[in-house]
Structure formats: structure tokens, C-alpha cells
């Protein structure tokens, strides 16, 4: 009986999460169509979707696998630029925008997934803070490498050069007449067709939820959580630690790549520095404040924490200061034993939260 209730509880939460996303989509679409939302608010929708996917996917690494990653933006970056390259070079071949966007997102996901394997194999051997600092290092390396990238496309196909010494320019691509430059080194991608749409964003969120939630409730997810809870015990029951760590990490990177592609195709110009360490931290804050391992928490935190500071642009200078203070206070309120004691007296304990022994 107890068991049945519990099964219902976890599926109920998952179901509510899907439903919430769909309802939010319908409400926002209605508001958009009757003109309640201004251009400024509408402009926030696609990036908000991207950050939701980023937060949910990072939660897979940090909350479910239990490894701190400080380089998640690096995978977003790989996805963004490979997505932009794919979309721009297919511009003539596939004029139908939603299809091109979908292909670009798949390309971004695949490239970020490959990057995830390359980074994950060495990194996941390390533990704790060492792993964190190395993911940070990889994130910065990815950013620097993309900064060196010059890419163009013409009738002969893609032209790519790495500008390691900073001496090469777009002229070195040797593009045929009619070709166009997609990425100009440190200037980033310019002149991108902005084909990203809110609908695509919501679809991506739903796909992400489908992958992450189903993964968690499967044999693979259990193995991943077993590694998080007790690595030595997981090994003792025959779980291949490296394999499952890598599955979780690469899935997380892949989803971040898809989000990156959508993000990249939402702006006509984009630089690699956008995806620096601070972006990784921003997403990590979403995950921690939303609750580790709590998927709908990540969604809510990402939306609130992304939209709120943007909405407060009028008080520009103060907003980040306020954000910092709120962040510190929330962390103190939720983690300090004294504050917890005070809070538990104010807010009566939820029923059924505690398991009677």
C-alpha cells in the first residue's frame, strides 16, 4: 500500500512537471498573441527555455550523479557554434526553418556529446573539488578554442581554420564568390539567421524532461544514483562506475548542446565569451537553489532567476547587488542549522515528509 502510494507520488510529480510546462506554454502563447507581452518580454522567452534545459541537464550531473561541474557552459558553447554552422551552411539546402532548426539542434547536441566524451573520460577519474576545477579548466579551454575558430561556407562546402597565433583573418578562408563567413574568430558568429522559436524551446524542454526523468527512473538512473550515494558499495554490487558516470555526464552535455544551438540561433551575433565561467556558475546557482536532484525545482529556479534580473534592468546597477545578497541569504536560510531551526518553528512541518520508524 505504502509502496503503491510512493510509485504514484514520483509519477505524479513527473506528470505535473510535464503538465506545468505545457500549461505555461499555452498561457504564454495566448498572452503573446493578444499583445499583453511586449517585445522585450517575448525576447526573453527563448533564452529562458535554453536556461531551463541547461539547468535540468546540469542537475543530471550535479544532483543525480553528484559530481560538481563548473564547465557546463562549455558544452552549451560547442552546441551553439556547431548549431550555427549547421544552420547557416544548410540555409539554401533546407529553406524550411523549423526543420533546419531541428537539424541544427541535433548537430549541436551531437557535437556537445562528443565534447562530453572527450572531457568526461579523463575528468571523471578525479573526485570532488579536483573534478570541479578541471571542468572549469575545460570550459575555459573550449571558450578559447572557439575564439580561435574562423569558419566560412561556400558552394564547395565548409572552410575551417584555427587561428592559433591570432594572425589569420577571414581572407585566409579562401571563400569562393557568394560564400559567406559564419564565425569570425573572437568576433564570433555574426549575421546568423535567427530561426529559433519559443515553440522549439518548449519542445526541447519537453524532450529534455522526457530523457532526464525516464533515465532517472530506469536501471541506468538507479546505477548513477547508487554511485552518488556510495561509490564503494556500488562497485561491490557490480556497477561499472566509469560507464555510468560517463552516461550521465555525456547525456547532460548533449542536452546542453541542444540548448546551446537554440540559444545561438536566437541572436544574429554571438561571441564565445558569452559562455564563460560566469554562465556555468549562473546555471549551477539555478540547480542548487532549485534543489539538487529536483527537476521541477531546476525549471522554476531557472525561469525565476533568469527573468527576474532581466525584468529589473531599470535598476540596472543595483540589481546584481540585490541578486548577490538574495543568493547569500537564501543559502544561509536553507543551510545554516540555526536558521533552519527558526524556520521550522515558523513553518509547520509538512505531513508525510518524515518517515516514521
Partner 1 sequence: MSKKFEKPNMVPVPSHSIIPDRDVGKSPILECNHLGIDFGGLRAVDDFNLTVGRTEIAGLIGPNGAGKTTVFNLLTKVYQPTRGTILLDGIDTAGKSTIQINRMGIARTFQNIRLFSNLTVEDNVKIGLHNQEVYSTFSGIFRLPKYWKKEKVAHERALELLSIFDMQDMAAMKAGSLPYGAQRRLEIVRALATNPSLLLLDEPAAGMNPSETAELMENIVKIRDMFQIAVLLIEHDMSLVMSICEGICVLNFGQVIAKGTAEEIQANPAVIEAYLGKKKEA
Partner 2 sequence: MEFLSYLISGISLGSVYAIIALGYTMVYGIAKMLNFAHGDVIMIGGYISFCAMSYLNFPGWLALILAMVVCTALGVVIEGLAYRPLREATSLAVLITAIGVSYFLQNSALLIWGATPKVFSPIVEGTQNIGGLSVSNISLLTMAACIVIMVVLTLFTSKTKMGKAMRACSEDKGAAQLMGINVNRTISTTFAIGSALAAVAGVLMCSAYPTLMPTTGSMPGIKAFTAAVFGGIGSIPGAFLGGILLGIIEALAKAYLSTQLSNSIVFAVLIIVLLVRPAGLLGKYVPEKV
Residues that bind partner 2 (CB under 8 A): 62, 68, 122-123, 125-130, 132-134, 136-138, 140-141, 144-145, 147-148, 163-166, 186, 231-232, 277, 281, 284-285, 288-289, 292, 317-318, 320-321, 323-325, 327-328, 331-332, 334-339
Nearer to partner 1, 149 or 212 (CB): 212
284 vs 15, 89, 161, 260, CA distance in Å?
25, 33, 33, 16
> What does 94 bind: partner 2, partner 1, none (CB cut-off 5 to 8 Å by kind)?
none
DSSP letter for 166, please.
S
Contact between 236 and partner 1 per CB under 8 A: yes
**How many helices and strands, by DSSP H and E, does the chain display?**
13, 3
Backbone angles phi, psi at 216, to 5 degrees: -60, -40
Nearer to partner 2, 30 or 141 (CB): 141
**Rounded to the nearest whole angstrom, what is the least distance from the CB of residue 312 to partner 2 in the complex?**
13
332 vs 42, 70, 310, 345, CA distance in Å?
34, 22, 24, 16
- Non-local CB neighbours of 215 within 8 Å, separated by 6+ positions: 60, 221, 224, 248, 251
> What does 147 bind: partner 2, partner 1, none (CB cut-off 5 to 8 Å by kind)?
partner 2
Contact between 11 and partner 1 per CB under 8 A: no
Cβ count near 153 (within 10 Å): 21
Contacts (CB under 8 A) with partner 1, residues 41-70: none
Contact between 256 and partner 1 per CB under 8 A: no
In the set 39, 157, 167, 232, which binds partner 1 (CB under 8 A)? 232
CA separation for the pair 319, 234 (Å, rounded):
45
> What does 137 bind: partner 1, partner 2, none (CB cut-off 5 to 8 Å by kind)?
partner 2
Contact between 345 and partner 1 per CB under 8 A: no
Contacts (CB under 8 A) with partner 1, residues 278-297: 293
Element (H, E) at 69: none
Contact between 215 and partner 1 per CB under 8 A: yes
C-alpha cell at 351: 505531513
Contacts (CB under 8 A) with partner 1, residues 171-200: none
CA separation for the pair 208, 251 (Å, rounded):
10
The CA R_g of the chain, rounded to the nearest whole Å, is 22
Interface region with partner 1, contact rule CB under 8 A, candidates 89-97, 187-195, 211-219, 304-312:
211-219
CA separation for the pair 206, 56 (Å, rounded):
11
Element (H, E) at 316: helix 316-335
> What does 226 bind: partner 1, partner 2, none (CB cut-off 5 to 8 Å by kind)?
partner 1
Contact between 221 and partner 1 per CB under 8 A: yes
**Rounded to the nearest whole angstrom, what is the least distance from the CB of residue 282 to partner 1 in the complex?**
26
Backbone angles phi, psi at 163, to 5 degrees: -95, 70
Contact between 218 and partner 1 per CB under 8 A: yes
Nearer to partner 2, 181 or 282 (CB): 282
DSSP letter for 176, please.
P
Nearer to partner 2, 12 or 127 (CB): 127
CA separation for the pair 194, 261 (Å, rounded):
11
- Do the beta carbons of residue 38 and residue 310 sit within 8 Å? no
- Which residues are at the interface with partner 1 (CB under 8 A)? 2-3, 5-6, 210-211, 214-215, 218-223, 225-226, 228-230, 232-241, 247, 293, 355, 357
Amino acid at each position: 500500500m505504502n509502496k503503491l502510494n510512493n510509485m504514484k507520488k514520483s509519477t505524479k510529480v513527473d506528470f505535473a512537471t510535464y503538465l506545468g510546462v505545457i500549461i505555461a506554454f499555452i498561457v504564454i502563447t495566448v498572452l503573446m498573441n493578444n499583445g499583453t507581452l511586449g517585445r522585450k518580454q517575448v525576447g526573453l522567452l527563448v533564452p529562458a527555455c535554453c536556461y531551463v534545459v541547461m539547468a535540468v541537464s546540469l542537475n543530471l550531473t550535479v544532483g543525480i550523479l553528484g559530481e560538481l561541474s563548473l564547465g557546463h557552459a562549455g558544452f552549451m558553447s560547442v552546441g551553439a557554434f556547431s548549431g550555427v554552422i549547421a544552420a547557416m551552411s544548410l540555409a539554401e539546402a533546407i529553406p524550411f526553418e523549423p526543420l533546419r532548426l531541428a537539424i541544427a539542434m541535433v548537430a549541436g547536441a551531437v557535437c556537445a556529446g562528443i565534447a562530453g566524451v572527450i572531457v568526461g573520460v579523463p575528468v571523471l577519474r578525479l573526485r570532488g573539488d579536483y573534478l570541479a576545477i578541471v571542468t572549469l579548466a575545460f570550459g575555459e579551454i573550449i571558450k578559447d578554442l572557439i575564439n580561435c575558430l574562423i569558419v566560412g561556407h561556400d558552394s564547395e562546402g565548409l572552410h575551417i581554420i584555427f587561428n592559433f597565433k591570432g594572425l589569420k583573418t577571414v581572407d585566409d578562408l579562401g571563400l569562393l564568390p557568394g560564400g559567406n563567413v559564419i564565425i569570425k574568430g573572437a568576433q564570433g558568429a555574426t549575421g546568423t539567421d535567427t530561426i529559433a522559436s519559443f515553440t522549439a524551446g518548449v519542445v526541447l524542454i519537453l524532450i529534455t524532461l522526457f530523457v532526464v526523468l525516464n533515465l532517472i527512473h530506469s536501471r541506468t538512473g538507479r546505477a548513477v544514483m547508487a554511485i552518488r550515494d556510495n561509490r564503494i558499495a556500488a562497485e561491490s554490487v557490480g556497477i561499472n562506475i566509469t560507464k555510468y558516470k560517463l552516461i550521465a555526464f555525456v547525456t547532460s552535455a548533449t542536452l546542453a548542446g541542444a540548448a546551446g544551438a537554440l540559444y545561438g540561433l536566437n541572436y544574429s551575433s554571438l561571441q564565445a565569451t558569452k559562455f564563460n565561467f560566469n554562465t556555468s556558475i549562473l546555471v549551477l546557482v539555478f540547480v542548487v537553489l532549485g534543489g539538487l536532484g529536483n527537476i521541477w525545482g531546476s525549471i522554476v529556479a531557472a525561469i525565476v532567476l533568469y527573468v527576474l534580473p532581466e525584468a529589473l534592468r531599470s535598476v540596472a546597477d543595483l540589481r546584481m547587488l540585490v541578486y548577490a545578497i538574495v543568493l547569500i541569504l537564501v543559502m544561509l536560510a536553507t543551510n545554516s542549522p540555526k536558521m533552519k531551526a527558526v524556520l521550522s518553528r515558523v513553518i509547520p512541518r509538512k505531513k508525510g515528509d518524515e518517515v516514521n520508524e
